A and B are shown apart, each in its own frame.
Chain A
Amino acid sequence: MTVPFRLALAKMSPRQLLGNPVLLVVEIGAAITTVVTILDPSLFAVSITAWLWLTVLFGTLAEAVAEGRGKAQAASLRDLQQTTMARRVNASADQLAHAGNLMVLPTEEVPSGSLRAGDVVVVEAGERIPGDGDVIEGVATVDESAVTGESAPVIRESGGDRCAVTGGTVVLSDRIVVRISSDPGHSFVDRMIALVEGSERQKTPNEVALNILLVSLTAIFVLVVVTLWPFMGYSGIEPSLLVMVALLVCLIPTTIGALLSAIGIAGMDRLVRRNVLAMSGRAVEAAGDVDILLLDKTGTITYGNRQATEFLPLPGVTQVEVARAAQLSSLADETPEGRSIVDLVRSRELADDATVPEGAELVQFTATTRMSGIDVDGRSIRKGAGSAIAKWVHSTGGTLSDELDAIVEHVSESGGTPLVVAEQVGSQPARLLGVIHLKDVVKEGMRERFAEMRKMGIRTVMITGDNALTAKAIAAEAGVDDFLAEATPEDKMALIRKEQEGGRLVAMCGDGTNDAPALAQADVGVAMNTGTTAAKEAGNMVDLDSDPTKLIDIVEIGKQLLITRGALTTFSIANDIAKYFAILPAMFVVAFPQLDRLNLMGLSSPESAILSAVVFNALIIVALIPLALRGVAYRPAAAEVLLRHNILIYGVGGLIAPFLGIKVLDMVISLLPGI
């Protein structure tokens, strides 16, 4: 606790407060009352002055606490940056481009800090990768837990979408050649450190706008208090500098002024805690404004691998027959689809568990036959695409059936993939048995989440390479609002452009290099950490967990950030009403005893009333720090519903709370002798 306090004290320097005009006014006020108190000391003056200084301290404390939460994380990240020795490939660009095997090129030992973008290094098992880059040769398992917190090692290989490696992570097996992609000080970890420490924090657009509103409110109140001087003079009241400063501090929006930057830092921190790195606060805010989410089907909406969900026998065949044949033909099939068939048979208890029989001959899937199967005891079982099986059955003299076509079409229409099963006994004509319904399974809970999105006014669009028929069925099952079928990267880009031209904000996530242009074009582009460097650089956020569904969390965090600011501003302004009822009667009652009727709270004395208001004003900042750091509770709902809820809590609550708070403080303070 002492560290944030020290930091908070350092932040009280007027130069540091230049960016926070509200607190600066409080500090100037505190300086004035300090002089007044020294010249004319009294318990009342000392108390007011002390509490004004505390108000400033509490304000800077909020920011210090928010920043402190990132400090520990930054420290552990810094450990990753220890200088290690790197083995740099000592070869010309020409050699690098043409060498068949880079690992045989000569290397030299250099400190990792001296590596520049474009250098090529060799990293072996047990070594730390010296900098960010792309694997250009080899494949290795890498421990990235220091960055992502995920302890399971990941595979990194040259080419494709899993080539990016992060400096500071450790190679566990094998040997890779890495082309470094960042200069010292500009690495991913450097950016992470800057981010979690909040040192590079720039005010976001909405924060700037809100700050302007707060400054203008402060200006109005300075004007109100300054002009009150001659009005009081005319009315025969001797204005006290001390009381005037107290009045001003109570009126200006100190609560939100003190908490504003803490809210922003905490918002970024919440993202970091969910393993998302935002490259700018602007992107987090934009996430709250998003109108459209583009979600890849595979891995985001569905589990990504097709699974058997049903056995559909032809007339004259039992389900058990189809199931047994399917099971037999899939026993040796190690693909996820094959395993799902065996699992389905087991879970439905359609056949006993079986192992591959002795002497069985496996028929592997090939691109030409497009079917796989098993030959055992003179019996051949085949499964495959409808047309391939039809061709096989036909070649053995077997007959086809219209029923099969109907089933196949039905399965296709529902978004599934039909796998036809047939068998041939001896040299008899082959016989069709039925269809296995393979289905892209929608992840649990997605439907509900999309419904929530809809309530929030966000449209979800599913992006898939599937044909329109399949896409439509899955879109309907998952409950997304729209889909883009047979999508190419260009289509995705065109869709984003079209929506943006209509004034909508688009969020998407992606991992491949071909996603990079779309990630850059989207207003919120979340790159997967497993993705390529190109994708990571193009997006404005990186998800370390590489979980595409997190896009939804990001949107919620963005909204929560804005709501917290709005709610605390409303609270701050609503507080002023009660403060007027406390301070104005206290100030004016000397000349106009009738104004005591405005003393609704029945505060015991003018001094006690003013001091209570000042103390309340300071304490409410401390009381609200946890809320500022946590963010106000957010639940997805329509704007109107959210607003009503928040107005009730923070508007009406802000109206009532100070009446109670000031009254209680007054009861305590009035016990003090001398006030």
Chain B
Amino acid sequence: MSAVLPAVLQFGALFALLVLTVPVLSRYLAHVYTSPRHLAPERVLYRVMGVDKDADQHWRSYLASVLGFSLVSLLVLYGLGRLQQHLPLSLGLPALPADGAFNTAVSFVTNTNWQWYSGETTAGHLYQMSGLTVQNFVSGAVGMAVAIAFARGLARSSAAGHVGNFWVDLTRGCLRVLLPISIVAAVTLVALGAIQNFDAPHTISTLAGATQTLPGGPVASQEVIKELGTNGGGFFNANSAHPFENPVPLSNLLEIYLILLIPFSIALTFGRIVGDRRQGRAVASVMAILLTSAIGLLTWAEMAAPGTAPGLAGGAMEGKEIRFGEAGTALFAGATTGTSTGAVNSMHDSLTAPGGLVAMFNMQLGEIAPGGVGSGLYGMLMLAVVTVFLSGLMVGRTPEYLGKKIGKDEITLVALYVVTVPAVVLIAAAIAISTDAGLAGLQESGPHGLSEVLYATTSAGNNNGSAFAGLSVATPFYNTLLGMCMLIGRFLPIVFVLALAGRFASQRTLPSGTGSLPTHKPLFITLLTGVALVVVGLTFVPVLALAPIAEALQ
């Protein structure tokens, strides 16, 4: 059997699974975020939180809620990390260092889930469950809430900047979307062989007579939400390459499916909310085109695997799992970097040079293919506004998207959004590569060393969280630098997104006619794809040329 066949079959199965379920979920999501009814447990929650569940928030108030909630989460998580030795179920592990606790708190609150530590030796069960797993839910729900608020902004007309209720969006996202899907998926994953217990590590004797430590823990539950909420923080250091997290090829496929499920669904939900389902399909198409190209290129890069060592080994399998093979690895890598998940089932440092380039570029796109839960959608919509601006002028009208004019204030917000994350990534990488503290973390020299640094800042700035490995980041320098990248890379863009949502909501929706540019047709889909590639390409090609491109052309 040719090696290409399983690659195609896996991709085909994934595609079919998504095509069948995404429309259903998108409809459900639209219902969740637009229904006026509150469920009983939700009402209790609102009363406890002291939230006016029927208030329609102005974008500033919505933003204040997002930032306030995230700040509290940050402080709680930091506290849990610093006080770990006093917590139950801590397996006797000590407190996290200050910089480490900061980095981890930021990492999980920003939906990045960058891990400077190895889970089994640093984080106890309580910290993992009440801190990290909770954040896996709520940070994902925050992203979805912001995206939905943005969609509402586009859908509303003359609404004086009101974009919905954050607390309701957050609660429903967790209780009605993430939780039920997680439960079903977790049970399935346990059935496929992932573990779920509260055990401390067992020490056993192997057949060969050596001793081995087998860790325990509530793995399956965290594994599911890690993928579903595009979080990516593994229970174990080896992440989804660990057999307790991702035991068999079928679980591998299930996890990839979970990664992509919500990002694609919410794109279609957007179409439903703005009252034109074709718009959602167009956005999802662009996501699918970018993702498929990335997976295709990755698969090709890993399978073609030039070089003597891979040639002798019959494939570039160093740092990858035999269980998944090159195809299963490439598929996972494409999905995890295309979304802001960052879970890995291989060490990305071990990807071939062109493969690493694709993975990095995929993140540098700004996590839009299809991106993190919610964040992928709003990232893509921001680029859609840029596309509309350029192409709208070319049809001889003031550019408009879904009946909203793109004037001075709108384009300013979009420009700030588009500049922010690349600026964070490039500046942080420049700092790391030109300071002793930064250079100390490099495992390799030459282009590969630069790739390691660039991958780390790219991953942090774009809230992906996957690591290239190779770079030693468990230092105060990297914990602080990357923590700042994650923080700015998450919340500054959200400020611009919600401000724009407010502006759009205040505008009157203009009727569209044959004179206005259609934003659901193949031409626009092509242009949006092109704009995404060109904008990112022009920003990152110089530094990529010095790192993975130089390496790949060797």
Contact = CB atoms under 8 A, between A and B. Distances in A.
B538 A580 contact: yes
Interface string A190-229: 0000000000000001101110110110011101111111
Interface string A625-646: 0000000001000111011101
Given A455-B514, A567-B394, 19 more contacts: A209-B406, A209-B407, A210-B389, A210-B411, A231-B450, A291-B511, A456-B514, A503-B508, A503-B510, A562-B397, A577-B537, A577-B538, A584-B542, A597-B553, A638-B514, A639-B515, A642-B396, A646-B394, A647-B394
A504 interface: yes
Interface string B532-553: 0010011101110111011001
A574 B508 CA distance: 34
Given A216-B416, A594-B550, A644-B523, A234 B396 contact: no
Q: Which 5 A-B pairs have the closest CB atoms?
A: A457-B515, A566-B393, A559-B396, A216-B415, A566-B394
Interface of A is mostly: helix
Interface in A268-299: 285, 288-289, 291
A283 to B, nearest CB: 13
Interface stretch (B43-51, B166-174, B176-184, B428-436): B428-436
Contacts of A231: 429-430, 433, 450, 542-543, 546-547
Interface of A: 205-206, 208-210, 212-213, 215-216, 219-221, 223-235, 251, 285, 288-289, 291, 454-459, 502-504, 558-560, 562-563, 565-567, 569-570, 573-574, 576-577, 580, 584, 588, 592, 594-595, 597-598, 634, 638-640, 642-644, 646-647, 650-651
B523 A594 contact: no
Contacts of A289: 397-398
Interface in B421-443: 422-423, 426-427, 429-431, 433-434
B379 interface: no
B200 interface: no
Contacts of A455: 514
Contact of A228 (B397, B411, B513, B542): B542
17 contacts: A219-B419, A220-B418, A220-B423, A221-B538, A230-B434, A231-B543, A503-B511, A566-B394, A566-B395, A573-B538, A580-B542, A595-B549, A595-B550, A634-B396, A642-B394, A643-B523, A644-B523
Contacts of B192: none
Interface string B447-481: 10110000000000000000000000000000000
Contact of B554 (A594, A638, A651): A594
Contacts of A212: 408, 411-412, 415
B355 interface: no
B547 to A, nearest CB: 8
Interface in B466-516: 508-511, 513-516
Given A220-B422, A588-B546, A209 B411 contact: yes
A502 B511 contact: yes
Nearest to A585: B545
A212 B410 CA distance: 10
Contacts of B527: 647
A639 B411 contact: no
A232 B391 CA distance: 36
Contacts of A210: 389, 393, 411
A213 B386 CA distance: 9
B8 interface: no
A519 B433 CA distance: 63
B518 interface: yes
Contacts of B546: 231-232, 234-235, 588, 592
Contacts of B449: 234
A588 B550 contact: yes
Nearest to A556: B396
B interface residue count range (under 10 / 10 to 19 / 20 to 34 / 35 or more): 35 or more
Most buried by B among A235, A597, A638: A235
A279 B412 CA distance: 27
A209 B408 contact: yes
Interface of chain B: mostly helix, strand, loop or mixed: helix
Contact of B390 (A227, A566, A580): A566
Interface of B: 386, 389-399, 403, 406-408, 410-412, 415-416, 418-419, 422-423, 426-427, 429-431, 433-434, 446-447, 449-450, 508-511, 513-518, 521, 523, 527, 530, 534, 537-539, 541-543, 545-547, 549-550, 553-554
A285 B554 CA distance: 53
B539 A584 contact: no
A598 B430 CA distance: 24
A457 B395 CA distance: 11
A226 B518 CA distance: 39
A545 B450 CA distance: 68
A588 B541 CA distance: 12
A288 B398 contact: yes
Given A235-B450, A291-B513, A223 B398 contact: no
A217 B418 CA distance: 10
Nearest to B416: A216
B403 A503 contact: yes
Given A205-B408, A584-B541, A457 B513 contact: yes
Given A227-B427, A289-B398, A639 B517 contact: yes
Contacts of A504: 510-511
Given A216-B415, A231-B546, A584-B545, A205 B511 contact: no
Nearest to B541: A580
Nearest to B445: A234
Nearest to A211: B408
B514 A233 contact: no
B433 A230 contact: yes
A213 B510 contact: no
Contacts of A234: 433-434, 449-450, 546
Contacts of B547: 231
A460 to B, nearest CB: 13
A531 B517 CA distance: 37
A563 B396 contact: yes
Given A285-B398, A588-B546, A588-B550, A640 B510 contact: no
